[in-house]
Amino acid sequence: MALPKYTLKYNEDKEKWSLENDRTNRTLKNFNTKEDAIKGGVLKKVLGSNGGSVKIQKMNGRYQEERTYPRSKDPRKSKG
């Protein structure tokens, strides 16, 4: 079964960072800053036991990095 995919991106309308489900475009959680979202296991906690792959964008919309939660579900053949 494929991992659910999410994107952490800046929402200009709300002036917050939003974690969105890529398939449904629904927001799971909003954060005041990107640092609040990526620090100390916050994303892992939001995704829960199902986990998923999170693409993290910069303020300009370009991708900064991708993280997999839990780490054990990261595909072995990925470059990262």
pTM of the model: 0.86
**What average pLDDT is seen over the chain?**
90
Q: Three-state SS string across the chain, please?
A: CCCCEEEEEEECCCCEEEEEECCCCCEEEEECCHHHHHCCCHHHHHHHHHCEEEEEECCCCCEEEEEEECHHHCCCCCCC
pLDDT tens digit string along 25-37? Answer: 999 999 999 999 9
